[in-house]
Amino acid sequence: MPQLLPLAPTPQKLIENRRSFGGNDIEFSIYDTYKEADMVELQAQNPLYCGMITGKKVIHFDGSSPFEFLPNESLVIPSSRKIHIDFPIAKMEAPTQCITIEIARDKVKEIVNRMNDNFPRMHDSGDWRYSDDDYVHFENTARFNQNLDQIIQCFTDKQPFRDLLIDLNTSRLIIHMLQSEARKLLLENEEAISGTTTMHAVIAFIRENLHRRIQLEELERVAHVSKTTLFRNFKNELGCSPVDFINSERMKRAAKLLRNGKSVTETCYNSGYKSLTHFTETFKKQFGITPNQYKQNYIN
């Protein structure tokens, strides 16, 4: 995702100055905010994708505790649901910028139906579905950022086959939204991860054994499937390979341990790494800073 999209030459508003670009079944917008503000309302009639570019927001969603929304993160807001946004660090010389993509509900339903017809989920996970009841908040992957860059280019550049490319990349975005929602259901309900589905059982096994090396053969035995099926199920359900998922969970565990005051060395070995150098390199690649810097930033 770009660091900062070109700003409006003469913004009409200092808070949530909006520039919009229309397409079939989709509207792409860039929002720039140039001064601090609190409880700014946002609502859309269709599912709304939000991606942070620069700065920081604090999101207030009814029924949930406020949470920070940062660059390299995404948020999907249900149709017709209001959220309120704080802008704690926006200023003229360093505006807070985000993009939104509003997608027609019929387009989302179309992709859901195609996913169920062509890429069904595991038999005990039910059908693909888009729930329009709750928000989904997730970190972007490198592949997802590439998809966003392509959507942004389609709207901001005049290029051949523009409408076709917008449709193609919007479909990819919806697929990622579906996988992110499935991921949220699978990963965030700790009480449910006790074997409700095959994927729950595999995820629980991974989390219980992050302190050591996990062999793929072990996951195959837990899921009672072949290696090929295991990889296909992870790609379908979570949008990543088993190895990528394990590494992601190791990084989450490491960040939590550092926030709880553990030393970098202790965190390294308790997260399943044998080399402190490899751990530091992997952590910096994931979070953009070293484990020591992360720990110090949290303390400060």
Q: pLDDT (tens digit, 9 = 90+) per residue, 85-113?
A: 999 999 998 999 999 999 888 888 888 88
Instruction: Say if residue 58 is in the same domain as residue 164.
Output: yes
Instruction: Say if residue 34 is in the same domain as residue 177.
Output: yes
For residue 4, what pLDDT is reported? 61
Q: For the domain that residue 206 is a member of, what is the CATH number?
A: 1.10.10.60
Instruction: Say if residue 22 is in the same domain as residue 138.
Output: yes
Instruction: Say if residue 225 is in the same domain as residue 100.
Output: no
Q: Residue 19 is part of which domain span?
A: 1-188
The last residue of a domain, from among 170, 188, 206 = 188
For residue 263, what pLDDT is reported? 94
Instruction: Say if residue 156 is in the same domain as residue 268.
Output: no
Instruction: Say if residue 32 is in the same domain as residue 48.
Output: yes
Number of domains in the chain: 2
Three-state secondary structure readout of the chain = CCCCCCCCCCCCCCCCEEEEEEECCEEEEEEEECCCEEEEEECCCCCEEEEEEECCEEEEECCCCCEEECCCEEEEECCCCCEEEEECCCECCECEEEEEEEECHHHHHHHHHHHHHHCCCCCCCCCCCCCCCCCEEEECCHHHHHHHHHHHHHHHCCCCCHHHHHHHHHHHHHHHHHHHHHHHHHHCCHHHCCCCCHHHHHHHHHHHCCCCCCCHHHHHHHHCCCHHHHHHHHHHHHCCCHHHHHHHHHHHHHHHHHHCCCCHHHHHHHCCCCCHHHHHHHHHHHHCCCHHHHHHHHHC
Instruction: Say if residue 41 is in the same domain as residue 125.
Output: yes
The last residue of a domain, from among 166, 188, 210 = 188
List the chain residues with pLDDT less than 70: 1-6, 9, 121-127, 131-133, 180-196, 299-300
Instruction: Say if residue 224 is in the same domain as residue 149.
Output: no
Instruction: Say if residue 4 is in the same domain as residue 134.
Output: yes
For residue 62, what pLDDT is reported? 82
The last residue of a domain, from among 146, 170, 188 = 188
Q: For the domain that residue 128 is a member of, what is the CATH number?
A: 2.60.120.810
Instruction: Say if residue 155 is in the same domain as residue 199.
Output: no
Instruction: Say if residue 206 is in the same domain as residue 183.
Output: no
Instruction: Say if residue 141 is in the same domain as residue 268.
Output: no
